[in-house]
Amino acid sequence: MTDRPKIKGNPLLVTVYLLVLCYIVGEFVIPKYPLLYPIHLIGILGLIISLFFFFSGFNIFTSYEENPAPTSPSERLIKTGIFAYTRNPIYLSFVFLHLSMFLVFENVMYLLSSIVQAIWIHNYVIKFEEEYLLGKFKDEYQRYMNTVSRWLFFK
């Protein structure tokens, strides 16, 4: 077993590419579906929350001198800060970002991409990371999995 997770793809790059693709297709191909003004405000709040989750997770990685890239080896298990509430705050921020972009810009492609991205991250990124971390940290990670949700509200 190599000392790194067998992740398929880079979640950050996939998020950025999807943002560009969604903008192009949603603005020039698919019609917009008008939403009520309060929903736009919820979207703006979602953008702020997604940025908070991303930078909270990223800053904790750097404070522990860990590389946040999902394909890098882990030297320690991070269970503090935002990681005490969700095991995957950065991935959660990517999905929230796309969902919030839909609410703000009325571009249905962002909604579709948030669903596809959540399924891909869950099945092809998180599963491999958890397998790697269980192999490396064994019982400590199992206890962490039992107490902290994967997706904030969903185990």
Average per-residue pLDDT in the chain?
A: 92
pLDDT of residue 5: 85
What is the tens place of the pLDDT at every residue in 123-145?
Answer: 999 999 999 999 999 999 999 99
Q: Could you tell me if residue 86 is inside a domain?
A: yes
Distance in angstroms (rounded) separating the CA atoms of residues 11 and 105 = 23
Q: Which amino acid is residue 91, in one-letter code?
A: Y
pTM of the complete model: 0.91
Take residue 16 and report the two structure tokens written for it.
Answer: 């950025």
- Alpha helices by DSSP H, listed for the chain, are 11-28, 37-63, 89-105, 108-120, 127-137, 139-147
Q: Could you tell me if residue 47 is inside a domain?
A: yes
pLDDT of residue 2: 64
Contacts of 102 (CB under 8 A, 6+ apart): 43, 108, 109, 110, 111, 114
What is the tens place of the pLDDT at every residue in 106-122?
Answer: 999 999 999 999 999 99
Q: Could you tell me if residue 104 is inside a domain?
A: yes
pLDDT of residue 152: 78
Q: Residue 1 above 80 pLDDT?
A: no
CA distances from 154 to 95, 101, 137 (A): 14, 22, 22
Distance in angstroms (rounded) separating the CA atoms of residues 63 and 25 = 39
Q: Could you tell me if residue 61 is inside a domain?
A: yes
pLDDT of residue 31: 84
Q: Could you tell me if residue 103 is inside a domain?
A: yes
State mean pLDDT over 26-37: 87
Strand partners, 149: 86
Query: Which residue, among 129, 119, 120, has the nearest Cα to 6 in the 3D structure?
Result: 129
pLDDT more than 90, % of the chain:
81
Q: Could you tell me if residue 90 is inside a domain?
A: yes
Q: Residue 43 above 90 pLDDT?
A: yes
Q: Residue 35 above 90 pLDDT?
A: no
Domains identified in the chain, total number? 1
* Domain range enclosing 41: 35-69+76-147
